[in-house]
Amino acid sequence: MDFGFSQEDETFRAEVRDWLAAHAGAGTDRRTWERTLGKAGWIGLGWPEQGYGNRAATLTQQVAWAEEYARSGAPPRSGHIGENLLAPTLLVHGTDEQKARFLPPVAAGEELWCQGYSEPGAGSDLAGVRTAAVREGPHYRITGQKIWTSLAHEADWCFVLARTDPGSRRHHGLSFLLVPMDQPGRVEVRPIRQMTGTSEFNEVFFDGAHARAEHVVGAEGRGWQVAMSLLGFERGVSTLAQQIGFAEELAKVVATAAETGGLDDPVLRERLVRQWAELRTMRWNALRTLGGSGDPGAPSVAKLLWATWHQRLGELAVGVRGATAAAGPTAWSPAAPYELDAAQHLFLFSRADTIYGGSDQVQRTIIAERVLGLPREPKGAV
C-alpha cells in the first residue's frame, strides 16, 4: 500500500502540529484536556459520520493526527474508550436516539467511558460472563463484578456485557448495556494497585445498578454480536501512534546502551538491531492492513507482534544497565513512596502486554481457528 501523504494531508499535518504546540499544555488535568480537544473538534476524526461536533478527516489525515499527537508529548487520553470503541459501535448498532444522546458528549470530551467486559473467571474467555441484568419495567437491574476495567475511576459511563437470559450459556443470552457510573451504593470502583505502584485498572462491583431499557445496544440477547463488533475497532490508526511511542522508548534504550558500554557486547547489539527491524516491520504491517476488512486474523497478528516486542523491550531497558537496574531512583525506606524510574516502569508494566486485550494464547487460538481452519478448541456446553 502506498501511504504517501498528499499536499492536502501535509497541510492538515501542519495544522495539527501548530495546534498541539499551542494547546498541549492547556489541560490542567485529563478531563480538562479532553474538553480542550473536543472544543476544537479533534475527537471523532475517524467516525464515518459528522454532525456530532467532530471534524471530517481522511484515513491518511487520521494517521497524521495520531502520529503528531504521539510526537508532541501531549497529555495521555482519558476519552479514547468512548471515542474509539463505543462511538464506532453505536454508529453501527445504535439507534438514532442512542447516537443523539451519547455521541455529542463524547465528541465534546464531556463524558468519559470505561469497558465492562472482563470478570473473574471470564477474562480472555469472554463468553463466560456471569454478571446478570434483570429487566424491571423501564430499566435493568445489574448485579455482578468486572475486573481490569481501565479508567473506571474516571469514567461517567460503562458499557457492560451482561447476561439477560438467566438460563443461557456461553455467548447466548448476553446483552450490551450502557450503565451510568454515578450510582452510589449500586456501583463501587476499587482501584487495583499494580507492581508499578500505579492503579490504571479497577474492579467494578454492580449491586443492583440501573440501566435504562432504551440503553441496550443492538437489542436484548444480541450482546455477543455487538461486543465482537466492538473488539474489531480496538486496533486501527491508534496502532501507528503506539509505534511512535515505542520508537521513542527504543531510542532511549539505545542511548543508555551507548552510555554504559553495552554496544560493545555483540549479543546486545544484535538484540537492539532486531528490536529496530521488528518495529519497522510492525509499522509496514500496520500500514498494509490499515482500513482493510475481512481479515479475521489481522488484529490478532498485530497484538501478538507488538505485545511480545514491547515485553522484550522492557527486558532490554533494564538489561542494558546491568546490576544498577535493580536500584531505584531514590533511597528506599519503609516510609518512602514506591518509586520506579522509566526503565523499571517499562519492564514491569510490559509484563502485562501479553495478557490484557486478549492473551497471547487467545490470539493464537483465533488465528488457528479463524484463519488456518484448525479444529475449534472445546469450550464446554453451549
Q: State the catalytic residue, choosing from 83, 154, 234, 249.
A: 234
With contact defined as beta carbons under 8 Å apart, do 90 and 44 qualify? no
Structural Rg of the chain based on CA atoms: 22
- Distances 262 to 52, 73, 237, 265 between C-alpha atoms, Å: 52, 28, 35, 6
State yes or no: is 234 an active-site residue.
yes
Burial letters for 92-107: b for 16+ Cβ neighbours within 10 Å, e otherwise?
Answer: ebbeeebbebbbbbbb
Rounded Cα–Cα distance for residues 270 and 276 (Å): 10
The one-character DSSP state at 119 is B
Which residues make Cβ contacts (< 8 Å) with residue 10, sequence separation at least 6? none
Rounded Cα–Cα distance for residues 342 and 27 (Å): 23
CA nearest 246: which of 289, 269, 275, 268? 275
Q: Which residues are catalytic?
A: 234
